[in-house]
Amino acid sequence: MNSSDNSDFKRHLEKFISLTEKEFEEVLGYFTYKKTKKHQVLVREGDKVQHTFWTKKGLLISTFTDANGKEHIIQFAIENCWITDQDAFYNQADAIFNIVCIEDSELLSISFKKRESLCLAMPKMERFFRKKANDSFTKQQKRLLTYLTSDSQKRFDLLLAEYPQLIQRLSKKILAAYLGVSRETLSRFRK
């Protein structure tokens, strides 16, 4: 791997499992370091999805375009977050989402095949991915409930509370698409 400092990635893994330095170096061998440019598309709707990405530095979004051409923001991936089209990655299906870099980014990527090999070679990593998936499912469920039961001001307030640094990094258009509001409505929210 070409990146010099992977201490953030090690800390991220160690939120769920413990690793020796030797084990961590072995884990890194399964990942590829990737530098991307702003606006670069990592996954395009209809593509086969071969990789999942961990954000070392930067900001990415996952979007879905509905039948009416309206774009919906499904996920943000800031530092220490994973992103992929889950169904397409795990089931080797065609992507229904686009994943785009909003900023120049640095990523660690792992292919489906290498992830499976890593989990077989190191059961600790299978445990990590299971625990991380459970954590992600819980967060997605909370977001869905918030979206279904809260007004747009409340959704904005919750986003601001959970990711205060994110608001400054997003355009109003992207933020409005994520919250499901118009840019005019967004401009009326208090910060």
User: pTM of the full predicted structure?
Assistant: 0.88
In a domain, residue 182? The reply is no
CA 9 from chain centre, in angstroms, equals 14
Total tally of structural domains belonging to the chain: 1
Half-sphere exposure in the Cβ direction for 39 (13 Å, CA)? 0
Q: Is the pLDDT of residue 2 over 50?
A: no
pLDDT single digits (tens) 77-122? 999 999 999 999 999 899 999 999 999 999 999 999 999 999 999 9
Q: Is the pLDDT of residue 185 over 60?
A: yes
Q: Going edge to edge, which strands form the sheet with 105-111? A: 32-36, 105-111, 51-57, 82-83
Q: Is the pLDDT of residue 190 over 80?
A: no
In a domain, residue 67? The reply is yes
CATH code of residue 114: 2.60.120.10
The mean per-residue pLDDT over the stretch 124-134 comes to 94
Predicted confidence band at 145 (pLDDT cuts at 50, 70, 90)? confident
In a domain, residue 174? The reply is no
As given in the structure block, the two tokens for residue 111 are 């292919």
DSSP 18: -
In a domain, residue 45? The reply is yes
Integer Cα distance of 98 and 84 in angstroms:
9
State the burial class of residue 89 (Cβ atoms within 10 Å of its Cβ: 0-12, 13-18, 19+).
Answer: buried
Q: Is the pLDDT of residue 191 over 70?
A: no
In a domain, residue 49? The reply is yes
DSSP helix/strand/coil, 94: strand
Structural domain for 65, as ranges: 7-123
Integer Cα distance of 15 and 17 in angstroms:
6
